[in-house]
Structure 1
Amino acid sequence: MVVGEIIHEKDVVVIGAGPAGYEAALRAAQYGRDVTLVDRSRSGGECLHTGCIPSKLLAISARKMWDSAPGVTMDPEFSMQQWHSEKVEVVERLEKGLKMRFKSNNIECVKGSASFLSSERIGVEQGEKFEVWTFQHVIIATGSRPKDPPFLSENIPDVIPVEQLYKTPSIPRRLVIFGEDYLSLEAASTFRALGAEVTVVTASDSFMDDIDETIKRELHRQFKKQKIRVMTGATECNAVAGENPIFEGIKSTGERIEIEADTIAYSGGRIGNIESLCLEQAGIEVSGNYISIKDTCETSISRIYACGDITEGPALAIKAIKQGKTAADHCCGVAATFSFDCMPTIIQTQTPLATVGLTEAEAIEAGYQVVAESSPMRASGYTSLLRQTEGVVKVVRDKESHLLLGFHAIGAGAVELIEKATLALEMAGRDEDFSYPYSPHPGFGELWSETVDRTIEKKARSIEYQ
């Protein structure tokens, strides 16, 4: 029952406390705006509590199991129970840190469910209390939820979204993962490293076509080496309940698939959490389950912004954070726009993968005279010291202008290297910008100069496209 109505006036109201929401709230508060942050759950959103942080934490644990160093001997054991306990400590510490930042920036935090009453007012239901806010600006950042795949027609135990794998009490002995996005690949690699028998099933006839061919080949090789089974072209899929769930399907070749598993996990995309917002009350335009936005993150209604998973594009925290800051900047009078250009993709498999800019094929299709060169990770003395020599680094540049067009890497150091690549693309970096500066020796950065030198001097191979 809702009784009473309290009306507040605010500069900026942010709906949702995930990465997009909390970054938007902090940014607006730092500009001196009076900010209220409304969320019906815990600060940090799914990224902190069920997604990014738990998945990366388990990936790190899996890597540590297989780390080695000269003169060091060990016989590691993994305890899922202990991991869960320490995961809770990490998540709670990060959430506490967020709340301290809210407090130090004078951000009012309200726990409740928000919805639009008009384009000028929102209501927040908090149990039996209902409050109304008028605002100068609203930033919507309510995130998303997993989309059920077509084959899941009923609720079957042990058939779960990939995110729920990080809540399981133990490592499943046999794990089937349906999907080929970063969540699926990270989970497959991590759980295999911790002892699970893993099969990755995809509906597409090929695997990871959106990454550079050189990196894709290396990813295939790594999965094969890790004994992760990959089955592509699976159609007419179904999950059958039983003592253990069975994944069924038919491959595009006509071959039947039948895999018994302890757990079937799926990642079939995300759905924006927009239903309870009553967007029609404010006249906000939507496209399917997403809110339509301009490059400033402003919606079809002036003064109302949207960012993160409720907007079209990849459901990535890196996108959400950037959009949250863009929305806050713009509503505070600071010129800002958002673009998917120069946005890196990072996949924390056991051999990490990171990519930004154009692939070699995309650069050729765009009409550039492409020079592309690769260096094996073992070309860096640092990877030898770490005993992590698997992988490859690839640079794609324009022959005529020497501009960097794309950077792609898989292996130890890929995530560290991608930051330099992203900055270089943003600043229109050329050959001399990579070959001239000093690189620490030994260090991952030497892979940059090693690979760029190959494109300049054509020591190994040079590909020219007229």
Structure 2
Amino acid sequence: MRDLVIIGGGPGGYVAAIRASQLGMKTVLIEKDEVGGTCLNRGCIPTKAYFQNAKAIHTIKRAEEFNIEVSGFKFSLEKAKARKDSIVNQLVSGVKQLLKANGVELIKGEAALIAPDTVAVNGEEIKARNILIATGSVPARLQVEGADLPEVITSDEALELTEVPSRLAVIGGGVIGLEFACIFSHFGSKVTVIEYMPNILGSLDKEISKRMGVFLKKQNIDVHTGAAVTKIEKKDGEVLVHVEGKKEAFTVASDLVLMSTGRRPCIKGLNLDKVGIETEKDFIKVDENYQTSVKGVYAIGDVIGGQMLAHKASEEGIVAVEKMAGLNSCVHYHAVPGCIFTFPEIATVGMSEEEAQAKGITYKVGKFQFAANGKAMTMGEAEGLVKILADQNDIIIGVHIIGPHASDLILEGTMMVKNRMRIKDVIGTIHPHPTLGEAIMEAVLDVHGEAIHLAPRKK
């Protein structure tokens, strides 16, 4: 009898396994593919490797701005893929070593529940006091004629390409779609984004998503919002995406189509029905302790819905096993940061203006443009801004950044939102000069019109 069996070795599962081992639990981790899950093998890490390739190309193309003459360069996606694979393999190996060092038993195989305390894998039955499901999610496909064509791929297949398509149509203007749009645009593809909703990045603060639309246009990426794909067909050697637009129907000619229309929970083969685990729209229902409708069976990460983020799954995994051990832990859902690796980067935590308005919260806004930040100017990356939201009690409820190194800067904002800091708590924190972080302090000061490097507000 084990203390805990975890199904799924992604960022939720393997982190939970290590924490469980630290708490003295005899733990088994079952993974059908490679540890690290989507994040490490087909998501966060591989795309960031390609993002760095794109960033290098972006810098080379702007070399003249830094008084450097470049006569020309060649980019090989095949070699970039080899670099990406090498990074992934190294990290996968590192996770395996961590699991081994922590005494976690790792089994490669496809698991299924056969009882509330029993998991079957590779013809063996394993009994455990607790079971944790952390099987994550898989790309969802738009149900439209032609979606099954070989030239219509998901993010999984996009990361295995060895040649850059001349024309790439991206269906979906969310995080994944726009990251790939920016990456392949820098690689040399002519990219067109088709988004069904009225705005790209619909879950973000509207001001940030609107600004991103402008930046995409500058990168020569065509974006169609409020546009529904009606059919995809292959004709005369090219792939045609038929779209019903806001005003009229149109067709996007491409060589490859990236389907980026969200993700769905991965529950196939788990036998949830057999043991009585309740789901809603395929997402596993859990209580405040991450326990499912069956006692002793828990679930975390993408498979339970909410924000589908690796770091959220990791935190849920830690908290779930700590609760099993009787500890009083919780996930601070009001302060889950999100990062988008586009050009420029976007990072956000807490409420947007629209969310605050919907909740009837009286709020104030402070902003600071990177164009007035010395470090950003020296980097040649002075586009974008930092935006701070504070409620009627001066508690910081939202931080939104679009600009250079937004993904690194958001940590300070996350600390503010997580700890429900007031404006007065942040003021007086000395930010080193010259750094991008100074823009955060200026935005905090601007909430009350006290920013130093901004002209006084007009009264």
Scaled by the length of structure 2, the TM-score of the pair is 0.94
Cross-structure match for 2:406: 414
Whole-angstrom CA distance in 2 between matches of 1:409 and 1:154: 35
Change (3 A) 1:461 1:168: farther
Please, which of 214, 217, 221 is the counterpart of residue 224 of structure 1? Answer: 217
Whole-angstrom CA distance in 2 between matches of 1:35 and 1:461: 60
Cross-structure match for 1:96: 93
Any conservation in 1 of the 2:117–2:296 contact (CA below 8 Å)?
no
Matched, 1:266 2:259: yes
SS of equivalent residue, structure 1 residue 245: strand
Matched, 1:257 2:250: yes
SS of equivalent residue, structure 2 residue 335: coil
Any conservation in 1 of the 2:366–2:445 contact (CA below 8 Å)?
no
Matches within 5 A, 1:442-453: 442-453=434-445
Cross-structure match for 2:39: 47
Cross-structure match for 2:360: 367
Q: Give the CA deviation at 1:113.
A: 1.3
Q: Give the CA deviation at 1:461.
A: 7.0
Residue deviations 1:406-462 (CA, integer Å, cap 9, x gap): 111101021122111111111111112222111111112101111122222356576
Please, which of 282, 300, 306 is the counterpart of residue 299 of structure 2? Answer: 306
Whole-angstrom CA distance in 1 between matches of 2:251 and 2:407: 37
Any conservation in 2 of the 1:201–1:231 contact (CA below 8 Å)?
yes
Whole-angstrom CA distance in 2 between matches of 1:412 and 1:369: 30
Cross-structure match for 1:186: 179
Aligned CA-pair RMSD: 1.9
Any conservation in 2 of the 1:189–1:350 contact (CA below 8 Å)?
yes
Change (3 A) 1:225 1:123: same
SS of equivalent residue, structure 2 residue 333: coil
Any conservation in 1 of the 2:3–2:128 contact (CA below 8 Å)?
yes
Cross-structure match for 1:245: 239
Please, which of 413, 416, 421 is the counterpart of residue 424 of structure 1? Answer: 416
2:244 partner amino acid = I
Residue deviations 1:308-355 (CA, integer Å, cap 9, x gap): 111111322122111111212111222223353211121110210011
Matched, 1:63 2:60: no
Any conservation in 1 of the 2:334–2:417 contact (CA below 8 Å)?
no
Matched, 1:12 2:9: no
Cross-structure match for 2:143: 150
Cross-structure match for 2:120: 123
Whole-angstrom CA distance in 2 between matches of 1:88 and 1:42: 13
Change (3 A) 1:362 1:461: farther
Q: Give the CA deviation at 1:205.
A: 2.8
Any conservation in 1 of the 2:135–2:267 contact (CA below 8 Å)?
yes
SS of equivalent residue, structure 2 residue 49: helix
Residue deviations 1:268-297 (CA, integer Å, cap 9, x gap): 222212120111222211112111112322
1:111 partner amino acid = K
Cross-structure match for 2:153: 160
1:433 partner amino acid = D
Q: Give the CA deviation at 1:153.
A: 4.8
Whole-angstrom CA distance in 2 between matches of 1:382 and 1:73: 23
Cross-structure match for 1:113: 110
Residue deviations 1:251-272 (CA, integer Å, cap 9, x gap): 132x112111010011122221
SS of equivalent residue, structure 2 residue 138: strand
Cross-structure match for 1:83: 80
Any conservation in 1 of the 2:14–2:36 contact (CA below 8 Å)?
yes
Residue deviations 1:119-172 (CA, integer Å, cap 9, x gap): 121111x2xxx1111111111111221111021455212111133212111111
Matched, 1:348 2:337: no
Please, which of 283, 287, 292 is the counterpart of residue 285 of structure 2? Answer: 292
Whole-angstrom CA distance in 1 between matches of 2:356 and 2:215: 26
Matched, 1:402 2:394: yes
Gaps of 5+ in 1: 1-8
Which segment is superposed worse, 203-212 or 292-301? Answer: 203-212
Change (3 A) 1:256 1:413: same
Matched, 1:22 2:19: no
Gaps of 5+ in 2: none
Whole-angstrom CA distance in 2 between matches of 1:305 and 1:137: 8
Aligned residues: percent identity? 30
2:92 partner amino acid = E
Q: Give the CA deviation at 1:38.
A: 0.7
Scaled by the length of structure 1, the TM-score of the pair is 0.92
1:407 partner amino acid = V
Q: Give the CA deviation at 1:200.
A: 0.3
Whole-angstrom CA distance in 1 between matches of 2:146 and 2:214: 35
Change (3 A) 1:307 1:462: farther
Which segment is superposed worse, 450-459 or 341-350? Answer: 450-459
Q: Give the CA deviation at 1:207.
A: 2.8
Whole-angstrom CA distance in 2 between matches of 1:11 and 1:384: 55
Whole-angstrom CA distance in 2 between matches of 1:20 and 1:73: 47
Whole-angstrom CA distance in 2 between matches of 1:154 and 1:406: 38
Which segment is superposed worse, 109-118 or 212-221? Answer: 212-221
Q: Give the CA deviation at 1:71.
A: 5.5
SS of equivalent residue, structure 2 residue 389: strand
Whole-angstrom CA distance in 1 between matches of 2:261 and 2:67: 45
Q: Give the CA deviation at 1:72.
A: 4.7
Matches within 5 A, 1:311-350: 311-350=304-343
Number of equivalenced pairs: 450
SS of equivalent residue, structure 2 residue 153: strand
1:86 partner amino acid = R
Whole-angstrom CA distance in 1 between matches of 2:271 and 2:331: 26
Q: Give the CA deviation at 1:210.
A: 2.3
Residue deviations 1:29-69 (CA, integer Å, cap 9, x gap): 11121111111111111211111111111011101112258
Q: Give the CA deviation at 1:302.
A: 2.0
SS of equivalent residue, structure 2 residue 276: coil
